[in-house]
Each structure stands twice: as structure tokens, then as C-alpha cells.
Amino acid sequence: MTADDAALLTVGQLARRSGLTTKALRHYDRVGLLEPALIDSVNGYRRYRLEQLAHASLVRVLRDLDARLDEIRALGLEPSQAEVAMTLRGHRLRLEAELVGVQRRLHVLDHVIEQGWNAMTATEPDAVPLDGETETALAAALFNGVWALLEQPNRTEDDDARMLHMSHAQCHHWSQVGTAVNFVRAEWQCSRVYATLRRSEPALFHARRAFALCEAAGIGDFDLAFCYEALARAHAVADDDEAARVWRQRGLNAAQDVADDDDRALLLADLESIPH
């Protein structure tokens, strides 16, 4: 054994110091999640570098939180705090969805216990789907209705709630029958509604969705420029002045590529209305 070999950790040593079991370490080696630095060709003993202890400890924490192996593997060997946080946020959303499912099944279970299994045999009639023409008209009417509410002075709390519900409804309907441009504009409008109501997190969520849809579909001109505007406005609502400034400048730069003069004037007016 060389001096370098002596500096390596055995499976047992890494297990004790990281909180993982030796069985788990062998499994993580087999699936390519935590491979040893050295495997003895004679006896098959595994050895790990001391630097691998931090990664092993992170794996243990994430597995204790029931994170999936593919999620942990995707992080790589030296993930940043931001990368780990992003993975955990995605994992949290999945756990929340699972919790909703469990709560729904518990609710049904209570009904079966109280009313008997026969109560669950009745079937609901199938919903009648909207035809494309009707759903398109509905989406457009909702979209325009939201604009009317946005421009309405002295809105009440009920008006604000109705505006929110309508903005989500138009977004759903456009996603069923609209083009990529319709869906971008629908997400953009959701972001504007939330920004108007000073709710930064959903404003950012929908602005980012609109921008991602624009990029995925190769949409430019007016719609891409307004995605920059939405991101600038949402960041301003979140009091992230630096990010708002960056996105506002991108919107100003993009204004030069907006072909229609009226569209360009509207974009510039909206960008000017963002605090800077």
C-alpha cells in the first residue's frame, strides 16, 4: 500500500463519517452515483478520496429527504448551493402533488367507510368537450375581459379576484386551441395581472413561462420584446432592481426590432411605466 492509498477512506470509514450504510455505498457505486476512487484488483476493496466525503454526505441528506437517484446523479459531484436548491424545489413540488393525491384518497376512503362501497359505484356523466370554434371564442372573450378589468379604475377586491380567475381561464383555453403565439400572450397576461396586484412570485412564474415558450417556438419581434417587459416588471415588483434593470434594457434593445410602429410605441410606453 502506498502513502496515497493510506490517505484513502475504506467503505466502512466513509459510511461512518457520512452517515450512509456500507450497503448503500456499494449500491451507489453500482448505479454510478458515488463511485470509489480506487478498487483493489486483488481483493475488490473500495477506497474513497477524502474529498468525496462532502458528496457522500449530500447524497445521504438528499436520500433522507426521499430525493430520487436520477435527480441526485444529475447534480454531479460538486453542485452549487443554487443547483441543490433548485433540485430540492422540484422535489418539494412533487411531494406536494403526492400529498394532494393522498389527501384525496383519504377523503374518498372516509366516504367509503361511512357510506359503504356501493356509494362509490355511481359514475359521473362524461363532460361534453367544447368545439374548437367555441373554445377559441371563449378564450378571446376572457382575454379581452381581463384587459377591461386591468384598465378599470377603482377595482374592488371582487374585481381583482374575477380578473385572476379569468386570466387563468383564458390561459387554459388558449393552451387547448391556440397557437404558440396565443399561449405566449396568455402567459404574458397572467404575469401582468399578478404584477398589477403586486404578487411577485406568480408574476415571475408566468413571465418566465412566456419567455421559455417564445424561445422554444422561435417567436421574436413584438412578443419576445414583451416577454422582456414582463420579466422586468415582475422583478421590479419583487424589489430586485438589478434584474429589473437588465430585463428592461433587453426590452429597449428589442424594441428596435419590432416591425410595427404602434406595437413599438406600446412596448416603449410599458417599459417606461416600470420603476427604474
Cα angle: 36, vertex 40, 46; to 5 degrees? 30
Strands in 108-188 per DSSP E: none
Q: Tell me if 3-79 shares its fold with 132-272.
A: no
Question: CB-side exposure of 252: number of CA atoms within 13 Å?
Answer: 11
Q: What is the pTM of this model?
A: 0.61
* Alpha-carbon radius of gyration of the chain: 27
Going from N- to C-terminal start, the domains of the chain cover 3-79, 87-120, 132-272
Cα(51)–Cα(246) distance, rounded to whole angstroms? 38
* CATH superfamily of domain region 132-272: Tetratricopeptide repeat domain (1.25.40.10)
The whole-number pLDDT of residue 6 equals 56
Walk along the chain (276 residues) and give the pLDDT tens digit of each residue.
454 555 788 888 999 999 999 998 888 888 888 888 888 777 878 889 888 898 889 889 888 888 888 888 888 888 888 888 888 888 888 888 888 888 888 888 887 888 777 766 655 556 667 888 999 999 999 999 999 999 998 899 999 999 999 999 999 999 999 999 999 999 999 999 999 999 999 999 999 999 999 999 999 899 999 999 999 999 999 999 999 999 999 999 999 989 889 989 999 999 999 977
Cα(234)–Cα(214) distance, rounded to whole angstroms? 17
Determine the CATH number of domain 3-79: 1.10.1660.10
**Residue 220 CB partners (closer than 8 Å, separation 6+):** 214, 257
